[in-house]
Chain A
Amino acid sequence: MSTVNIKIDGREVAVKEGEYILNAARANDIFIPAICYLTRCSPTLACRLCLVEADGKQVYACNAKVKEGMEITVDTPNILEERRAIMEVYDVNHPLQCGVCDKSGECELQNYTLELGVDSQSYMIPDTKREVKNWSSVLHYDAGLCIVCERCTTVCKDMIGDAALTTVKRGGEALDKGFKETMPKDAYAMWNKLQKSVIAPSNGTEYTNCSDCGECAAVCPVGALVSRDFQYKSNAWDLKRIPAVSAHSSDGFQIYYEVKPASIENRNEKIFRVTNEWNYVSLDGAARFAYDFENTDVTKDEAAFAKALEAFKNAQTVRFNSVITNEEALMLQTLKEKRGLKLYNPEVRAFQKFLGYYQKASGNRFWTTDNDAIMKKSDFVIALGSALRNDAPGMKYAFNNVQKLNKGAGLYFHPIADTLIPSFGKNVECFTHKPGLEEAALYLVLDLFADKEKLPEEVKEYLASFKTTETKTIKEKVMKDVTETVVDEETGESKEVTKKVPEMVDKEITVEKNGLVDLLGGNSSTFTDTFEKMMKKKESFSMMIGEDFYYHDKAENLAKLIALIEETSEIDVVMAPPKANALGVALICDLDDEAEGYTIGYNEIGDFRLSALGDGDLDMPAMNQQEGTFTNISKRVVPTNAAVEYGGYELNDLVSELIEEGESLTVDWTVRLPASKGFRAIEFDALPNGYSNDGTENRGYLLKTSNRKAKTPSVEKFDEHAALEGEIVYRCNPARQFSDFSDKAHEIFEPFGLYASAEKAEALGEKVEVVFGNGSIVVDVIADEKMTGDITKLSDFKSAQNVYELFGPARYQTVTMRKV
């Protein structure tokens, strides 16, 4: 991207073209005050503090773009006067509860009041009573403290996509007219708006029906929005921040565990909350609220340790999941190599295979883009095979953010219709197709985006075979010239006048119908126009691939199709590893397809159970109790640190006993991560973990990619009849639930069960037995208002329920439902 040179306060800086002045200044360490602006969201213009002078004209730095040669002055006497007046206005009637407020010194209102030297108040207005409300199981809103900067509504709309909050009428008194003459202009305008509004759930009720991610509370500059659990628990300055990685979704979000001693009686450190760098990373509900899954009160149990060693000597298989660090995965792989153990991981195996197919077909080691890059540049996203709202929060945010900020468009292919996705933007088109037709969706993408020149002949023919032309009669408005003779009444002269008169005529047109669109549940006669509109001014295309593809009969063909799409079109691809560290496991371990014989379960079922959940035969540290690295969706190896004390044995202790090539610490394994898979030999302690001011991610390192030119993959045709029919269940967790660990956290309330659309849930009753080919499960039925259609979602986050076994190699299964 090209750069332009601008001058801010006399300092010459080179910044990205089309960047907002505020972002340009921030990237170069120049301070411009601003409350309402969020880096990756659209400018709100609520606070007006970022007023600067650019080329002699006052502009708002948050929504004015840089121009070549622009000269910017941050402070002029007039601007300083405006800013001070604005801060005075914010302080009018703001309760002086700073002593008990949970912001405890991290308050932006407080900071800017001091920064702008507000030491007296010139304005006043009678206060309005504003109630304290609990918006959801996690959100607490104190309207009295709210300064209506709208950061919560902005982040919810532009980033999270739920748009669950909005401004509503406050019912405050009107401003005294006298102020209009005496006050600075912007301060008056800002006050006028402030006095009229307050934040409330956008659905008109008292409660937000959202994904409970808590991002709104994270961005709140004052103490108005706080998590209900954290309210009045601790001062911010008492908490020690420990940089870590969220252990739930595969996004590997950077988080800070904030710890301090649990209470006066219990001096052991406890996690009080999770915070994030909200300008650079937005968390999902699990990352933010599922933090207290630690394995507490563990001591070194030598008897259990001896039994575990014995168990390893007898064992033939280790079964584990993706909530595991790269180092531990490497230990297990080493055990496999030295002792011939089988590694069984149904969560990751399918993904590993799929990645293999993809690598073979495309010649790339990894997918070509990531969510951050998509947010930065893409304006057209296509999501396939992923229940965005549930599976991949990072992808959902990126999909939504592209619609809101990049004036983007999106295609969403999924068998379960979700009412939230179309609300992301007016250019989002959803295809609710039958499960089993994922290949058809990729063929449609090929048809729509591929450079036809580059396509192999047989694919071109195959695509053409779906096209039919149809003649259709439509009524069209035609302007017709009608000539009339008009006699002028006064003069008696007659003259001819030609008038244009609209007339409806039947017209025959040929409409090209695309069978693929109809097959996927769309309407081909309207789609052509819709798509044309979506494609207007689009330059950068991205495709998101989800878990459905990995658990697909034709996974190999899907992978080839993706490779073909990449080769013949401009589309970048990102794939969501199923959970937590699935990518790390897929790269490091040679997984086996089947478990065999005596099995050791690591956080999974097994004959001998190692468990960080506290219910196994030998205790293990949970993710918030150990150091190590994760490999996330951005192909980045990111470090996580221990937040809570752990007194027991670790996997490393077992491995050191079992093989000779052990290491004294878990993190000593970091340098041993396989270079052949793209890892680098960097010591754990040398891994950086942070973001720089311009949003550049400096966390760990990126895996080395490699591209070798592969032959154009030869793709197979798909079978229309492979589509599943009948009663279908989809293996899918509710948002905020990923594993037993998220379930253990006390702020996660989503239950295990069968999620269904409201009508379906009513039809099913309260409880059903879901009968699979190889077993059955009795579960509660839970209505999900955002789902429509007949397919139901069965949770898999409880490992004891062994839902993976029931589904086998597929994510969709036809079942019979029995009422219980």
Chain B
Amino acid sequence: MGLEQFKNRNVGTQNYKMLDLGQSPETGMGKFKQVLDRTFKGELLVGLWVTMREMINALFKGQMHTVKYPFEKLPISPRYRAIHDMLRLLESGHYRCIGCGLCEKICISNCITMDTRYDENQRKEVSEYTINFGRCIFCGYCAEVCPELAIVHGPRYETASEQRASFSLFEDMLTPIDKLNLQQEYDGFGAVSPNADENIKKTPLAY
């Protein structure tokens, strides 16, 4: 769908389909007759029957629509932006974060902080990482800017807890190593576009 329709603000020229509502009675007698008509036509029973049918379907035919939250949860769109997850590399299990600090930089509510250091393997190590969820506005910029797809928004939208601290440290957000096989790739902001390969110019290599 193009955007033309939305850009056309001149509503008067559009074609509306009018409902046939008939004529409203004008005399007192006419109005009285309409009340009688509607009362004894059985429309009330139609409504009652719909409720009854759904109840029977739900109770006896297994077509219940109510989600028993919090025991049941609906699947959530990959683009939903809830509490962050820190992902691991699938091959090595090492966390993906390289400590580049872009999320810290881009964060518009200044809620991300990280400490980094030079580790024994001559690499940059993230020694501590925290997000202040009291400030976070879940804008998704951190996930979008992350060059390693390391910080992403997860599906944990329940942000009530006894302690705010139970969300905010690196280990809390990091995929537990024993659940690495359950780690989902993220399709939201910042994910690689499906046609990414077509848009890349490859650098020639001599080997």
Chain A residues packing against B (C-beta within 8 Å): 99-100, 104, 119-127, 132, 228, 231-235, 237-238, 261, 263-264
Contacts and interface: CB of A to CB of B under 8 A. Distances in A.
Contacts of A228: 118
B128 A264 contact: yes
Contact of A264 (B113, B123, B206): B113
Interface in B83-136: 98-102, 104-105, 113-118, 122-125, 128, 130
A232 B115 contact: no
Contacts of B101: 104, 235, 237-238
B147 interface: yes
Contact of B207 (A119, A126, A235): A126
B99 A264 contact: no
Contact of B117 (A99, A104, A127, A232): A232
Contacts of B75: none
B117 A119 contact: no
Given A100-B98, A238-B101, A232 B118 contact: yes
Nearest to A226: B118
Nearest to A262: B115
Nearest to A236: B101
B147 to A, nearest CB: 6
A122 B204 contact: yes
B89 to A, nearest CB: 15
Listed from nearest, the 5 A-B pairs whose CB atoms lie closest are: A99-B100, A100-B124, A232-B124, A124-B206, A232-B118
A100 B100 contact: yes
Contacts of A119: 201
Chain B interface extent, by class: 20 to 34
B203 interface: yes
A282 B122 CA distance: 29
Given A122-B204, A263-B128, A233 B116 contact: yes
Contacts of A120: 201, 203
A609 B114 CA distance: 40
Interface in B193-207: 201, 203-207
B207 A99 contact: no
A121 B100 contact: no
A125 B207 CA distance: 8
Contact of B105 (A125, A126, A235, A264): A235
Nearest to A132: B122
Given A99-B100, A121-B203, A125-B206, 15 more contacts: A100-B123, A100-B124, A121-B204, A228-B118, A231-B118, A232-B99, A232-B124, A233-B117, A233-B118, A235-B100, A235-B105, A237-B105, A263-B128, A264-B113, A264-B114
A238 B104 contact: yes
A134 to B, nearest CB: 10
B205 A124 contact: yes
A126 B204 CA distance: 11
A73 to B, nearest CB: 31
Contacts of B100: 99-100, 235
Contacts of A238: 101, 104-105
A99 B114 CA distance: 14
26 contacts: A99-B98, A99-B100, A99-B147, A99-B148, A100-B99, A100-B100, A100-B123, A119-B201, A120-B203, A123-B204, A124-B204, A126-B206, A126-B207, A132-B122, A232-B99, A232-B116, A232-B118, A233-B116, A233-B117, A233-B118, A235-B100, A237-B101, A238-B104, A263-B115, A263-B128, A264-B130
Contacts of A234: 116
A318 to B, nearest CB: 43
Interface in B155-207: 201, 203-207
A515 to B, nearest CB: 60
B147 A264 contact: no
Contacts of A231: 118
Interface string B20-54: 00000000000000000000000000000000000
B21 to A, nearest CB: 64
A124 B147 CA distance: 25
Contacts of B118: 228, 231-233
Contacts of A121: 203-204
A265 to B, nearest CB: 8
Nearest to B148: A99
Which of A99, A124, A126, A132 has the most C-beta atoms of chain B within 10 angstroms of its own C-beta? A99
B115 A264 contact: yes
B143 to A, nearest CB: 16
Contacts of A233: 116-118
B206 to A, nearest CB: 4
Contacts of B102: 99
A119 B200 CA distance: 11
A222 to B, nearest CB: 16
A264 to B, nearest CB: 5
A235 B100 CA distance: 8
A258 to B, nearest CB: 15
Interface centre among B102, B123, B130, B203 (most CB of A within 10 A): B203
A126 B118 CA distance: 28
A100 B206 CA distance: 25
A135 to B, nearest CB: 15
A233 B207 CA distance: 34
Nearest to A173: B206
A227 to B, nearest CB: 11
A746 to B, nearest CB: 15
A132 B124 CA distance: 14
Contacts of A235: 100-101, 104-105
A804 B105 CA distance: 50
Contacts of B204: 121-124
A92 to B, nearest CB: 9
Nearest to A231: B118
B207 to A, nearest CB: 5
Nearest to A131: B122
Contacts of A127: 206
B193 to A, nearest CB: 19
Nearest to B104: A238
Contacts of B105: 235, 237-238
A269 to B, nearest CB: 13
A174 B198 CA distance: 34
A192 B206 CA distance: 16
B107 to A, nearest CB: 12
Most buried by A among B100, B102, B117, B201: B100
Contacts of B98: 99-100
A233 B99 CA distance: 10
Nearest to B207: A126
Contacts of A122: 204
A96 to B, nearest CB: 9
Contacts of B207: 126
A176 to B, nearest CB: 9
A263 B113 CA distance: 9
A8 B71 CA distance: 75
Nearest to A235: B101
A117 to B, nearest CB: 13
Contacts of A104: 101
A270 B63 CA distance: 63
A589 to B, nearest CB: 45
A263 B104 CA distance: 13
B131 to A, nearest CB: 11
A500 to B, nearest CB: 63
Contacts of A264: 113-115, 128, 130
A686 B167 CA distance: 48
Nearest to B128: A264
A747 to B, nearest CB: 14
A234 B118 CA distance: 10
A124 B207 CA distance: 9
A234 B104 CA distance: 11
Contacts of B206: 124-127
A238 B197 CA distance: 33
A268 to B, nearest CB: 14
A237 B105 CA distance: 8
Nearest to B119: A232
Nearest to A229: B118
